[in-house]
Structure 1
Amino acid sequence: MGHLFVYWREVGLSALWEVGVLLSINRFIRLPMTPLIGLLYKRMSLRKGLILAILLAAATTIGYSLFKGFIIWLVLGCLWGIAWSFLRMGGYLTVIRYSDDSNRGHLMGLYNGISRLGSLIGMLVGGLLAPLVGMQIVSIAFGVFMLLGLPYVVVYISGAKANEPDVSLLWKERLDNQESIWSKPVIKIVATGLVPWQLPIYLWCAVILLILAASTAVSTLMDALASDVAHLSSVVAVMTAYSVATDMGSALGPMLVYLAIGLPNGITYIYIGSAIIFLLVALWHRPNAKQEMTALPSERELMK
């Protein structure tokens, strides 16, 4: 799907707005489906959920090579979104099940690192092979490659259910320490704001790598915090709510970008707007922000 913006005419699309919809639909479908998938994970084993995710993802990826046109790709995008929800929820629950307080952050970072590495390899290999052998062969090859994960899941993933008793959520206690949450978006503010400007190619590549590193750090940190909360409460309920919240941003992003990219200086507005959003996030999570918001006027003066 990531190569749509280059080969959109070859796959039967007629306008860039269709590209934006296709890149967003798999995320929008996850909003209503993730809670349902969370309920299913309460009644089925992690092994079954991950096997279903792999089979559905492989079939969808191969389907991109067999069919063309906006409508059929819209359906495939929905199916891919469902597969991704099964896979991501299963990944979160697996990390939480096999970790403890001493290694949960490390294992969540390892999980994110492997996931991001797979995305990187997919983009690089797909980008190199697509013009050489065609998107159809690349899609089939990627779909078949996904099936290699089935033996690993069968052998190493538990067949037990992901269900657990519900207890009180402890969001406030777990998220009161905001030092690390506040510091990571600051890097993205500076780096994202530099993207649309005319920079030497080596400096521009460094900025892109910095954005990717900061994005990975932020997502890993938030995943680890959410998994800490989930471990002390309802694992499926917390991770479902967390997934829905992140999917909302992921769904709105591509759609808004492809709507704005056709405007004069649209790409500049997109990146500057993104930097402003990161700035607001950093300000919201700055140290002592919650204390300042809840303190009395006289106490606020003492904090300054």
Structure 2
Amino acid sequence: MENGVADKKPIVIIALITAVSLLGNEMLFIVMPIYWKFFGLTSLWQIGALLSANRIIRLPINSLVGWCYQNINKRTGLLIAVVIAVISTYSYGVLKGFWLLLAARILWGIAWSFLRLGGYLTVIACSDRKTRGHFMGLYNGLWGLGALFGMLIGGLFTEIVGIQTITTVFAILGVCSIPFVIRYVPNTISGSEMNKQGQQEQHSTIGVNRKKLVAVLLNGLLVAFVVYGIFSSTVSKVVEYQFGDNITFLTYTISVVAVAGVLQSIRMGMDPFLAPFFGKLSDQRFGRIPLLRFALLVGIICLLIIPLKIPFIVFVLVIFIFQIVSTLLITTSDSLAVDLSSDFSSVKTMTYYTLVLDLGSALGPLISYLVINFIGLRWLYWATGILLICLLVFWSREYRQQRVNDNTFYSAS
């Protein structure tokens, strides 16, 4: 790439549009587990179902969205996404009852499919193998600002101004982002862009077999299941489990929702800085897999500690460390997937990848609350730690084998 600044601009624009669209969804992950009766819900399982519904619907929808991006321009795809996101966000504050909210969550799932795939394809179009990790981290870090402010505002202001007021404001912000879509998102068809990119790079890329594709997709599935699914949907529950409805700290009483909102927003606040940094590290001498293995090891330790009865300060520190590790897990996983896209059809590869991400993210909340209902939150986190142990063993064996074969696909070179 000759002009790094120019290449970054489309990534920055689409990431910020995504961040605005994401506000209402992220607020739900903090507010709904605590204020579920406000939404007209009658059972805890409905929380898990609603937090998973938007992801489940993306399983059949992703292929259709991938086809759309091969035949329509990015601007149209993003406009569809933003309009649907505005409708769903506003609905969270005015609709009551499981079935109506389920419809709103399905709408959001369609919007997110357009947003996420559009972002991935933009990163591919604007990067090469030496910059993909950095640009992937930049994209993830910036759209993560939507999660930051959604969770933070939801956690801190729900009791002050009410859920309906917050969702209305978020919807208005979404409407305000539409002129930016029209002005800055390129009016080009992603399929033609990706074909041109693939032709330029096909002589410099390393052939990728099905085993590597399956490995990267499996990794994306499990990372999404743990980070986007289990952890994001149970933070407020784990805080409530540890400390009750309210926490007294330095003579101040803080609500569980506020603490959960702040804890979740810490990671999102760091992402714009950490994600590009981690991505750049994986582009350079460290490589993707060594960083991924390190993140898995630290993440396992954190998951085994989190459900233990520990002091508040220690608890916050462990959560903080796990959130940093989550950023590293996501950045390296996404970068591996983008690496694959230069060897296979870009749209198809990223459609498969978003499909497995959505599957993992969808199963996470649903399984989490089923496990909590039957055997408790502590066993949920310990079982998740064991799952990551299996993933660590897999990547350790895979990396050793690749080094023996002198195959550099999993490195940044």
Distance 2:49 2:32 in 1: 11
**Matched AA of 2:381:** Y
After superposition, residues 14-33 of structure 1 pair within 5 angstroms as 14-33=42-61
Are the structure 2 counterparts of residues 15 and 103 from structure 1 closer, same or farther at C-alpha, using a change threshold of 3 Å? same
Using the TM superposition, name which of 172-181 and 77-86 deviates more. 172-181
Tell me if 1:272 matches 2:382. Answer: yes
Per the alignment, in what secondary structure is the counterpart of residue 396 of structure 2?
Answer: coil
1:149-197 Cα deviation digits (max 9, x unpaired): 2232222221110114489962567979733332221111001111100
Which digits, 9 at most, give the CA deviation of each residue in 1:13-34, with x for residues without a partner? Answer: 1111111110111111011101
Could you tell me how far 1:284 is from its partner in structure 2? 0.5
Contact kept, 8 Å, 1:178 with 1:287, in 2: the verdict is no
Partner in structure 2 of residue 95 of structure 1: 123
**2:328 counterpart residue number:** 217
CA distance in 2, matches of 1:139, 1:177: 38
Deviates more, 1:62-71 or 1:180-189: 180-189
TM-score, scaled relative to structure 1: 0.90
In structure 1, C-alpha distance between the alignment counterparts of 2:45 and 2:357, rounded to whole Å:
23
Partner SS for 1:178:
helix
Scaled by the length of structure 2, the TM-score of the pair is 0.67
Q: Distance in 2 between matches of 1:151 and 1:65?
A: 25
- What residue in structure 1 maps to residue 391 of structure 2? 281
User: Are the structure 2 counterparts of residues 290 and 237 from structure 1 closer, same or farther at C-alpha, using a change threshold of 3 Å?
Assistant: farther
Percent identity between matched residues is 36
**Correspondence list, 1:176-215, <5 A:** 178-215=289-326
Are the counterparts in 2 of residues 56 and 79 from structure 1 also a CA contact under 8 Å? yes
Match of 1:67 in 2: 95
Q: 1:231 aligns with which of 326, 342, 348?
A: 342
Structure 2 alignment gaps of length 5 or more: 1-27, 217-286, 406-413
- One-letter amino acid matched to 2:306: V
Count of paired positions = 293
* Of 128, 132, 152, the match for 2:160: 132
Residue 49 of structure 1 and its aligned partner are, at CA, apart by: 0.8
| Aligned residues of 2:291 and 2:328 also touching (Cα < 8 A) | no
| 2:357 equivalent to 1:240 | no
CA separation of 1:105 and 1:177: change in aligned 2, threshold 3 A: closer
CA distance in 1, matches of 2:141, 2:150: 14
